Amino acid sequence: MPADSQPASREKPSPAAAPAAPGAGLSAVQRALRKLGLVRDIDFALYLPMRYEDETRVVRLSDVRDGEMAQIEVAVTSNEVVFRPRRQLIVTVDDGSDTCQLRFFNFYPSQQKQLAVGARVRVRGEVRGGFLGRTMMHPTVKAAGTELPEALTPVYSTIAGLAQPALRREVRSGLARARLDETLPAASDWQPAWDLRRSLNFLHYPAPDVAMATLEDHSHPAWQRIKAEELLAQQLSQMQARNERAAQRAPVLAREAGKESLAEQLLAVLPFALTGAQRRVGEEIGRDLAREVPMHRLLQGDVGSGKTVVAALAAALCIDAGHQCALMAPTEILASQHFGKLVDWLDPLLRSRGLRVAWLTGSQKKKERDEMSAAVESGEAALVIGTHAVISEKVRFKKLALAIIDEQHRFGVAQRLALRGKADAGLEPHLLMMSATPIPRTLAMSYYADLDVSTLDELPPGRTPVVTKLVADHRRDEVVERIQAQLQQGRQVYWVCPLIEESEAVDLRNATTTRDELADALGEAVGVGLLHSRMPTAEKQSVMAEFSAGRLHVLVSTTVIEVGVDVPNASLMVIEHAERFGLSQLHQLRGRVGRGAAASACVLLYSANEGGRVGEAARARLRAMAETSDGFEIARRDLEIRGPGEFLGARQSGAPLLRFADLATDTHLLDWARELAPRMLAEHPQLAQRHIDRWLGTRAEYLKA
Ligand code: ADP
Ligand code: MG
């Protein structure tokens, strides 16, 4: 085996990232470096500055205009600590052309000493004009007369415990050590003008005469090269994952002859006919399941588009073929809410075949769980529903062939591996992921190159669109009137409180206060419930059950109800501090109403910040909510407001994002990468592997997940 084919050992851990002695703990700096993902030399080399400082020149103070950043060399003429209006060090300096005051609010004795009268220092900062003469606030101070650097000084994004100068040193040495040999075969339409080594050296230490705008907008040839490399790595890794999957085998789920089909029976008991989109997607899934290559499909459909029925249909196809299906949701409350109906439909049909549905959750009593596990192991439980506990625990399936995951855009590595062990030896289960936060098709194609995507682009008939109203927070009273009007018609209401990320305790307090206030305002006859993520699962479930049964009329909650909850009698959704929510989250929340035949409304309460204004992006989000209720249009606007990196980031956890390239604007580079990647995998597999390893390293596994 040529050395070339062992990529994992190629990129060595950087000495900076390794403990001083084997077995020794990590230092604070090492821990900080790891947090930034800086482990191997190449990681340091690819850690690019967010901006630069120009320390290459010393200028005359008299040539500097107010408001400019400048580096000057000066003599200290006075130095005093004053206490009014607050304690500060004021130093006067003179460079022969003009004088200037340096001010420090926080300073060490060592700084005071460095700035003793008569000292010569090199000072860098923003020069401000002013009533009392020119000033620099908190400039950086160095000894004068040392050699000036030839390149701009990089400024890296850092975290607590890792000072900029230390990080700079680590990156510099990582860059010097990293192997930056060529991995791109000379091919395809676009030829990068710069090679990798030159590009990285330049981006860390640009020549001072560079057109700064080309670094900022990433249009510089060095940036083009880096972005092309990154996009290529992403495409290679996903195409590789797809190829690997093509070589894997899954159970072929074809209907066993001679039995009445569960799928047909299911369609007969449904109280409605499938939409065209549901039928089409059902067929797509049916075709996948009948193949011996594992299905790896994302089903996207707006809230309320009817994904659950499609899941039930897929499960029926699997069970018809004599196998087991696992159905999972991120939380217990969701699992029970989501799949309640599906169980109603399927369980009687299964019972008549001597089969059943099993529940598996973390909070289950041991006795019940043991009983369920036994049913799973014997194969009697043809359908197993629950949280991810279904696959991550020591549950043994008799014949698992299909795993369906709701409200998940992507399945994590650990979960995928757990799944692998659940099917028959040597076989991989089919995988269906369902997501209510659609990703625009073009983005899905390049971002999820390793997934097949099905889309429910049609809502079931008879829905009345939800009317969305923006209401300023000081008009809360009117909202209470609206609530009363709905309650009088026998309808129910959700009231969602904002998430305050720092503390669940604060969230709870806010939600509790709101509940109390609403209970006061609405009077005793109205049942106002509270749902919060801190509550024990059993309590959450009982509150949900009370609300579903109509015994609670108003449900105040934090965002626990965001996904999946289905109470068709609820006709009004109030979202407090709507300006703090993300667009797709608002859309998800709004999707909790308008599920029945009644006309429904969503009130977005917003409050302006201290300046009396709602931020630009927040305003764009609220406007989008008022203007459209189409999930795909919402996704498109969300993408526009946030840009692809953040957009996908909000939809992913654990998977790496593109750090440099932008799928929306770097289309020519993306086209190049998509064209080159399959050829590179076929003709230069070792270069391809090296390239993936260089860019994604251990994270490559995540992208494939
Ligand atoms: P989601 O895609 O958000 O998971 P659900 O599967 O919960 O949507 O479906 C939303 C509602 O629409 C449910 O009450 C479901 O029973 C109903 N539904 C699904 N498909 C149809 C259909 N073809 N015709 C009428 N109602 C449907
Ligand atoms: Mg759903």
In a domain, 493, yes or no: yes
* Interval between CA 595 and ligand 1 midpoint (Å): 8
C-alpha count within 13 angstroms, C-beta hemisphere, residue 535: 21
* Interval between CA 255 and ligand 2 midpoint (Å): 27
Does residue 221 surpass a pLDDT of 70?
yes
| Token reading at 543 | 């509150």
Q: Is the CB of residue 275 below 6 angstroms from any atom belonging to ligand 1?
A: yes
- What ligand has the least distance to the C-alpha of 311? 1
Locate the ligand 1 atom nearest the alpha carbon of residue 303 and give its number. Answer: 3
78 and 164 together in one domain: no
Residue nearest to atom 17 of ligand 1 (CA): 306
10 Å CB burial of residue 108 (0-12, 13-18, 19+) is exposed
Q: Which residues share a beta bridge with 121?
A: 74, 143
pLDDT, mean over the chain? 85
What is the per-residue pLDDT for 544? 85
* Interval between CA 388 and ligand 1 midpoint (Å): 23
In a domain, 673, yes or no: no
What is the per-residue pLDDT for 170? 96
357 and 270 together in one domain: yes
345 and 197 together in one domain: no
What is the per-residue pLDDT for 705? 37
CB neighbour list of residue 361: distance below 8 Å, 6 or more residues apart: 332, 335, 386, 387, 389, 537
Sign of the C-alpha dihedral, residues 160, 165, 169, 172?
positive
* Interval between CA 165 and ligand 1 midpoint (Å): 57
67: left (phi over 0), alpha (psi -120 to 50) or beta: left
Mean pLDDT of 613-635: 85
pTM: 0.70
Locate the ligand 1 atom nearest the alpha carbon of residue 406 and give its number. Answer: 4
The torsion defined by the Cα of 213, 219, 225 and 227, in degrees rounded to 10, comes to 100
Q: Which residues share a beta bridge with 136?
A: 102, 127
| Token reading at 76 | 């200290």
- For residues 660 and 649, give the distance between their C-alpha atoms in angstroms, rounded to a whole number: 14
27 and 106 together in one domain: no
Stronger pLDDT, 245 or 642, i.e. the higher one = 245
* Interval between CA 482 and ligand 1 midpoint (Å): 27
Report the CATH number that the domain containing residue 90 is assigned in CATH: 2.40.50.140
Mean pLDDT of 572-579: 92
Among the three residues 391, 421, 456, which one is the final residue of a domain in this structure? 456
Task: Give per-residue pLDDT as tens, 284-314.
Answer: 999 999 999 999 898 988 878 899 999 999 9
Locate the ligand 1 atom nearest the alpha carbon of residue 308 and give its number. Answer: 6
| Token reading at 545 | 């059950």
Q: C-alpha 528: how far from its chain's center?
A: 33
Among the three residues 456, 475, 505, which one is the final residue of a domain in this structure? 456
Q: What angle separates helix 196-204 from helix 221-247, to the nearest 10 degrees?
A: 130
CB atoms within 10 A of CB 663: 22
How many domains does the chain contain in total? 4
Mean pLDDT of 404-430: 75
Query: What are φ and ψ of residue 693, in 5° steps?
Result: -60, -40
Q: Is the CB of residue 304 below 6 angstroms from any atom belonging to ligand 1?
A: yes
Residue nearest to atom 13 of ligand 1 (CA): 306
Task: Give per-residue pLDDT as tens, 450-459.
Answer: 788 898 988 8
In a domain, 665, yes or no: no
Residue nearest to atom 20 of ligand 1 (CA): 306
Q: Is the CB of residue 566 below 6 angstroms from any atom belonging to ligand 1?
A: yes
Q: Is the CB of residue 458 below 6 angstroms from any atom belonging to ligand 1?
A: no
Q: Is the CB of residue 588 below 6 angstroms from any atom belonging to ligand 1?
A: no
* Interval between CA 248 and ligand 2 midpoint (Å): 30
- What ligand has the least distance to the C-alpha of 594? 1
In a domain, 235, yes or no: no
Q: Is the CB of residue 436 below 6 angstroms from any atom belonging to ligand 1?
A: yes
Residue nearest to atom 23 of ligand 1 (CA): 274
In a domain, 523, yes or no: yes
Q: Is the CB of residue 306 below 6 angstroms from any atom belonging to ligand 1?
A: yes
541 and 562 together in one domain: yes
Q: What angle separates helix 583-590 from helix 616-627, to the nearest 10 degrees?
A: 30
Lookup result for tokens 């769980």: 369
What is the per-residue pLDDT for 677? 93
- For residues 519 and 237, give the distance between their C-alpha atoms in angstroms, rounded to a whole number: 55
Largest CA distance in the chain: 101
Tell which one of 300, 305, 463, 587 to mutate to probe ligand 1, the residue whose CB is within 8 A of the most ligand atoms.
Answer: 305
**Helices (H), ranges, 257-327:** 262-269, 276-289, 307-320
Report the CATH number that the domain containing residue 372 is assigned in CATH: 3.40.50.300
One-character DSSP codes across 218-267: T-SHHHHHHHHHHHHHHHHHHHHHHHHHHHS------PPTTS--HHHHHH
* Interval between CA 363 and ligand 2 midpoint (Å): 22
176 and 37 together in one domain: yes
Mean pLDDT of 54-75: 94
Sheet holding 554-557, edge to edge: 467-472, 601-606, 570-575, 492-496, 554-557, 528-531
The torsion defined by the Cα of 432, 438, 443 and 447, in degrees rounded to 10, comes to -40
What is the per-residue pLDDT for 651? 55
Mean pLDDT of 471-500: 89
CB atoms within 10 A of CB 453: 17
- For residues 390 and 384, give the distance between their C-alpha atoms in angstroms, rounded to a whole number: 7
Amino acid at site 652: Q
Mean pLDDT of 661-680: 87
| Token reading at 385 | 């529903």
Q: Helix, strand, coil shares of the chain as percentages rounded to 5?
A: 45, 15, 40
User: Three-state SS for 494?
Assistant: strand
Mean pLDDT of 206-226: 93
- For residues 79 and 115, give the distance between their C-alpha atoms in angstroms, rounded to a whole number: 7
434 and 517 together in one domain: no
Look up the domain containing 549 and give its range.
466-628
The answer to whether 376 and 356 have CB atoms below 8 angstroms apart is: no
Q: Is the CB of residue 282 below 6 angstroms from any atom belonging to ligand 1?
A: no
318 and 451 together in one domain: yes
404 and 542 together in one domain: no
- What ligand has the least distance to the C-alpha of 277? 1
Residue nearest to atom 27 of ligand 1 (CA): 460
Residue nearest to atom 21 of ligand 1 (CA): 460
- What ligand has the least distance to the C-alpha of 327? 2
* Interval between CA 502 and ligand 2 midpoint (Å): 29
209 and 111 together in one domain: no
In a domain, 237, yes or no: no
The answer to whether 471 and 479 have CB atoms below 8 angstroms apart is: yes
Q: Is the CB of residue 192 below 6 angstroms from any atom belonging to ligand 1?
A: no
What is the per-residue pLDDT for 476? 87
Residue in 557, 552, 555 with CA at minimum distance from that of residue 496: 557
Polymer length in residues for the chain: 705
What is the per-residue pLDDT for 253? 94
The torsion defined by the Cα of 44, 45, 49 and 54, in degrees rounded to 10, comes to 120
Among the three residues 110, 143, 176, which one is the final residue of a domain in this structure? 143
CB atoms within 10 A of CB 205: 18
Residue nearest to atom 22 of ligand 1 (CA): 460
Task: Give per-residue pLDDT as tens, 369-392.
Answer: 899 999 999 999 999 999 878 876
- What ligand has the least distance to the C-alpha of 588? 1
84 and 176 together in one domain: no
379 and 320 together in one domain: yes
- For residues 669 and 675, give the distance between their C-alpha atoms in angstroms, rounded to a whole number: 10
CB neighbour list of residue 631: distance below 8 Å, 6 or more residues apart: 301, 302, 303, 305, 436, 437, 438, 587
What is the per-residue pLDDT for 594? 84
Amino acid at site 47: Y
CB neighbour list of residue 544: distance below 8 Å, 6 or more residues apart: 333, 337, 531, 565
User: Three-state SS for 376?
Assistant: helix
- For residues 495 and 477, give the distance between their C-alpha atoms in angstroms, rounded to a whole number: 14
* Interval between CA 307 and ligand 1 midpoint (Å): 7
Q: Which of 113-122, 324-333, 572-581, 582-591 has the highest mean pLDDT?
A: 113-122
Does residue 5 surpass a pLDDT of 50?
no
In a domain, 78, yes or no: yes
What is the per-residue pLDDT for 7? 42
* Interval between CA 309 and ligand 1 midpoint (Å): 7
What is the per-residue pLDDT for 655? 41
Tell which one of 266, 303, 309 to mutate to probe ligand 1, the residue whose CB is within 8 A of the most ligand atoms.
Answer: 309
The answer to whether 38 and 44 have CB atoms below 8 angstroms apart is: yes
* Interval between CA 313 and ligand 1 midpoint (Å): 13
Q: What is each CA distance from 227 to 192, 200, 441, 689, in whole angstroms?
A: 10, 11, 22, 18
Residue in 311, 298, 393 with CA at minimum distance from that of residue 357: 311
Does residue 577 surpass a pLDDT of 50?
yes
* Interval between CA 461 and ligand 1 midpoint (Å): 10
Burial 560-578 (b: 16+ CB within 10 A, else e): bbbbbbbbebbbbbbbbbb
Residue nearest to atom 15 of ligand 1 (CA): 306
In a domain, 108, yes or no: yes
